[in-house]
Amino acid sequence: MPVCKALENQVHVTIDGFYKPCCAFAYENSRYPITEYTPQEYLASDYINKIKDDMLTGWHNGCNSCEINEKNNNQSMRHTVNFICRKYDDIQMLDLNLNNQCNLTCRMCNSLSSSKWEELLGYQNNNYNDFDSIVTHLPKLKHIKYQGGEPFITKEIQQVLEYIAKHNCQFSFSTNCTLFPLKYINLLNQASSLFATFSIDGVGVTNDYIRHGKYWNTIDGVFNKWMDYFEYNKIRGVRNVNTVVQAYNFHDLGNIVEYLKPHKVKWNGLLINDIPEFTVNALPEKYIEQVINDVNSTFLTGYKFNHSLYIKLRDKTYEQDKLLQRKVADYNPLLHKVFTEID
């Protein structure tokens, strides 16, 4: 049965100041505020022990993301955490979101993870950004994972990187490839190693449709700067490219893999599961048959067309098209054609 080191050697802090097992874990009502519990108290809680007990016989229901990706032979968050924490014997990894500041409005994202969506929808989140109060309880930290939003535009990134440099920690980050953080390079160089994840959800117009805010030529240029940085500076660490596999880029997965071939990166296709209408099950067989290739066919394990999800996908597409002022007909005419032909 699955063993997950996130339940022993890592704590994840959410953007609103709660602990949860990891960033991929589905939210539940039983969350622990970091203002009331230390990391040690949280990992020793009945809540965490119940999850451990559940995983003795199978997957806990909050681990749906890892379960789905592993059943499809894809990299999961559990794989990543277990690799990083494989030699840890205490709470030595911190996974945190301190700020949702972002410069993109990605179609599969939300106001909790993107300040751009927050502004567009008129929401207001309460970000918990007291980094010092978190690390005070973690004297043996060896690895910090920092996420956004886009981490390199958050106001806390300087403080996080200074801590990493001072304590010789490993640093994990996930960036949307919209900017190269030249002002922080000296601090990045002082991390003991870097675990970099670059988010690429499409090539060319597919990127431009999904990730509203920056065009592909910017993403391409910044990604290549990152590759040059790792190569020329002989940076120790890991380079991954993550793609959120969804209805809007299923047709483009082969192009992403082809684009990455010249680069020394590992590609991870991660099936979206928290927005059911964006999954491949919302795509009719008629569409699947016209875009199938060797790469995306590997993500069809368990595929079963769901008509109600298809209707939700079509309606959500048109709704977001209006909000973001980009029409599916201009970026994915085949999907638009299906929308017009299938009720």
pLDDT by residue (tens digit) across 73-122? 878 889 989 989 998 989 999 998 888 899 999 999 988 888 899 888 88
In whole angstroms, give the CA distance from residue 197 to residue 187: 18
Q: Percentage of the chain surpassing pLDDT 90?
A: 69
Q: Which of 110-114, 133-137, 146-150, 284-288 is the least confident region?
A: 110-114
* Position 174 confidence tier, pLDDT thresholds 50, 70, 90: very high
Instruction: Indicate the pTM of the whole model.
Output: 0.92
Residues 6 or more apart from 210 whose CB is under 8 A from it?
106, 107, 108, 201, 202, 246, 248, 249
CB contact at 8 A, 212 and 178: no
Q: Taking the domains of the chain in order of start, what are their residue ranges?
A: 5-191
Phi, psi of 94, rounded to the nearest 5 degrees: -120, 125
Cα–Cα distance measured from residue 36 to residue 42, given in angstroms and rounded to the nearest whole number = 10
Cα–Cα distance measured from residue 268 to residue 238, given in angstroms and rounded to the nearest whole number? 13
Q: Render the burial of 230-241: b for 16+ CB within 10 Å, e for the rest.
A: beeeebeebbbb
Side-chain half-sphere CA neighbours of 278 within 13 A: 19
Q: Is it the case that residue 14 has pLDDT exceeding 60?
A: yes
Strands 10-13 and 93-97: parallel
What values do phi and psi take at 338, rounded to 5? -65, -40
